[in-house]
């Protein structure tokens, strides 16, 4: 992905986040602490990249949807870092929310970010009511009891289990990581009368490739580059793709998934796919 594209996405989304949160009380301060911290904003980038193939979605609504996804992602990170979850004290090159503000305020800030994601979609001035309802439904389904939350549950349940296999690992990561990535791509198609199955297949491949790359970086990069704790999975006794496939095998699986996703993208009969192609290649070439 071209750096200038992601830089433009970040600027637009950060501005929207800052205005949407405000700064009138401590909880808003806690929300801003995590939501405005330096991040890759890959999911927001996917919303924008997908929307470049969609002439029916206004730019303001693209910003709204990308922001909603990033707010939801940030909420999940705050909660994942809690002692009762993954117990991580570093996120985005700064102390985790609960380390800085305490567990109770971190939980509340996460809850508030989730609610704000839906609120800003409801307040969007360019989408009609049906499009807003569809957007909220897509986001809530991706993050709820059969999506990201269930993936986190399975992730915790399978800690320290030596017999976890590749099929279960794929299931966990398709839910915990892949669903929000898939959601980002599909939200970019709001208002577009196109069959979404191919977009779902495309995004499921890149979601898994993204997580495998995360596993690889967790053992090959420094904490300063990652912006979070190194070897966090080892500390929590979690089985990763490195454990099952080895480092070279994990890299090969990520490459194969990327190739599959690009092949699916070729079969989607729509113009403006260059940004999606670029971000797909970037996901496994990134360094953090």
DSSP conformational letter for 286: -
Number of domains in the chain: 1
Q: What string of pLDDT tens digits covers the 288 residues of the chain?
A: 566 788 899 999 999 999 999 999 999 999 999 999 998 899 999 999 999 999 999 999 999 999 999 999 999 999 999 999 999 999 998 999 999 999 999 999 999 999 999 999 999 999 999 999 999 999 999 999 999 999 999 998 887 667 789 999 999 999 999 999 999 999 999 999 776 789 999 999 999 999 999 899 988 876 555 555 656 666 667 889 999 999 999 999 999 999 999 999 999 888 889 999 999 998 888 766
**Which of 288, 275, 285, 277 has the alpha carbon at shortest distance from 52?**
275
pTM for the full model? 0.92
Residues in the chain: 288
Q: What is the CA radius of gyration of the chain?
A: 18
**Which of 177, 185, 179, 143 has the alpha carbon at shortest distance from 279?**
185
CA distance linking residue 64 with residue 71, whole number of Å: 10
CA distance linking residue 169 with residue 287, whole number of Å: 23
The CATH code of the domain that includes 104 is: 1.10.600.10
* Domain assignment of residue 169, given as a range: 3-285
CA distance linking residue 245 with residue 257, whole number of Å: 14
DSSP conformational letter for 23: S
């Amino acid at each position: 992905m071209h750096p200038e594209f992601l830089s433009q996405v970040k600027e637009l989304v950060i501005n929207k986040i800052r205005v949407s949160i405000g700064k009138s009380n401590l909880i808003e301060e806690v929300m801003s602490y995590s939501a405005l911290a330096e991040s890759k904003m890959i999911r927001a980038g996917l919303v924008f990249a997908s929307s470049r193939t969609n002439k029916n979605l206004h730019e303001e609504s693209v910003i709204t949807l990308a922001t909603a996804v990033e707010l939801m992602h940030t909420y999940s990170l705050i909660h994942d870092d809690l002692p009762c979850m993954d117990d991580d004290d570093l996120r985005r090159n700064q102390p985790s929310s609960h380390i800085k503000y305490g567990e109770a305020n971190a939980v509340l800030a996460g809850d508030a970010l989730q609610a704000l994601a839906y609120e800003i979609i409801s307040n969007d001035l360019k989408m009609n009511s049906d499009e807003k309802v569809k957007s909220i439904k897509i986001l809530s389904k991706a993050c709820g009891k059969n999506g990201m939350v269930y993936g986190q549950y399975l992730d915790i349940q399978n800690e320290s289990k030596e017999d976890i296999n590749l099929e279960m690992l794929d299931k966990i990561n398709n839910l915990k990581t892949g669903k929000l990535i898939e959601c980002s791509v599909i939200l970019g198609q709001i208002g577009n009368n196109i069959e979404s199955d191919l977009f779902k297949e495309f995004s499921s491949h890149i979601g898994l490739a993204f997580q495998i790359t995360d596993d690889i970086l967790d053992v090959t990069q420094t904490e300063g580059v990652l912006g979070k704790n190194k070897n966090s999975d080892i500390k929590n006794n979690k089985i990763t793709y490195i454990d099952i496939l080895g480092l070279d095998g994990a890299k090969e699986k990520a490459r194969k998934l990327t190739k599959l996703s690009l092949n699916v993208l070729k079969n989607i009969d729509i113009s403006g796919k260059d940004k999606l192609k670029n971000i797909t290649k970037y996901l496994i070439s990134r360094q953090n």
